[in-house]
Amino acid sequence: MIQVIAIFALGINHKTAPVALREKVAFAPEQVPEALRELTTLTSIANAVVLSTCNRTELYFNGSTAQAEQVIDWLAKFHHVEASELQPHLYLHQDNDAAIHLMQVASGLDSLVLGEPQIFGQVKQAYSQARNAGTINPQFERLFQKTFAVAKQVRTETDIGANAVSVAFAAVSLARQIFGSLSTVKVLLIGAGETIELVARHLQEHGAQQLTVANRTHERAVSLAKQFNAQAITLAQVPSHLAQADIVISSTASTLPIVGKGMVEQALKVRRHKPMFLVDLAVPRDIEPQVGDLEDAYLYTVDDLQTIVAENLNNRQQAAEQAKQMISAGANEFAQWLALQGNVDWVRDYRQGCEQIRAELVAKALNQLATGQDAEKVLTELSHKLSNRLMHSPTKAIRQLLQDQALSQQSLINTLLDL
């Protein structure tokens, strides 16, 4: 009987666990090689991959159901967390479901932001770390290569990542539509919170090089500016810097507008009415609505961007349905390959069994010849015994198959191996 080794995907993510628990079981990149060594040593699992991001911690491994329980215990002990605290938030996928889950993760379908592209690189990094640690077998090699191929297909043949689905990214996308290249434009960012930091990151990724960060607390402005090689100023300095800005994006917690119509009007005069693109991501507003009435000022509010985001999210969800079909096809192809490998193993084992019978009978015949028995009689006996032994199991299996048309492939194979 051949032992079947299952593929498992075990983990927690933003859907199943709060950030406080996700932080507890996250692996730092430098911890992964040690974790893989310890996991494979303590659980006798030879093949494993650790994927750890801000939104998920997942372990992909080969093993039995009993070993899957061992992995859960190991994960809890490694991070000094009680297994009882971890257990309710875990999910465990097996075989085809595990392959589908991995492909959905790599394609961005399981992300907090649908279709986000960073996860693909993170999955590739996890695979590379496992390969360097020697915990990737041919089965996992095939699984991850198929996953990468499917994820690339999803990226190139659907619109899963084509449109902005966050207001920060939507703001930068609008700026790119208006200015084309962002490499020469000057950007003034008002505020230094998470939203502005995300805007700055998107701007930098799309080529913006001249950023200025304005904030009420100058130290915070300096801290954020250092991350993006930007200039830092205070809110009081905004009026004197406004005329230099081609793009103004604001997101503060101020209860009163920071940028007024008169301030922008004066800046436009200095700019000789060169257009200015302004985005107000704050609630309440940072930029007076009347600024939008100025001829050369193009003002967008968070509500304008939310409408764009909603439309884009709908487009991504439609693309996600296309992606699911590609993932299903990819998982089926991997399952077929896996089944073929199993058949190769079964054929090999059957042939080995036949070889053992041949060697056994030949050794017996040689002993008979050595004792002086008639050669023709020995050879005749050898041929009859060899053919009978080799035909016994296949003949028995064929009879069973004829008697029971519902006989499964696995049952037939096991019968053939029962030599």
Active site residues: 54
| Contact present, 194 and 282 (Cβ < 8 Å) | no
State both tokens at 291. 């600024």
State the Cα–Cα distance between residues 197 and 213, nearest whole angstrom. Answer: 10
Match 């009680």 to its residue by tokens.
Answer: 82
CA 247 to mean position of chain CA atoms? 34
State the Cα–Cα distance between residues 148 and 413, nearest whole angstrom. Answer: 33
The number of helices, as runs of H, and strands, as runs of E, in the chain is 15, 10
Match 């939008």 to its residue by tokens.
Answer: 292
> Which distant-in-sequence residues (6+ apart) come within 8 Å of 405 by Cβ?
none
Q: How buried is residue 250: exposed, middle or buried, by Cβ count under 10 Å (0-12/13-18/19+)?
A: buried
> At 187, phi and psi to the nearest 5?
-120, 130
State both tokens at 10. 């075990």
State the Cα–Cα distance between residues 120 and 136, nearest whole angstrom. Answer: 18
Crossing angle for the helix pair 302-370 and 167-179, to the nearest 10 degrees: 110
State both tokens at 87. 């257990």
State the Cα–Cα distance between residues 210 and 340, nearest whole angstrom. Answer: 57
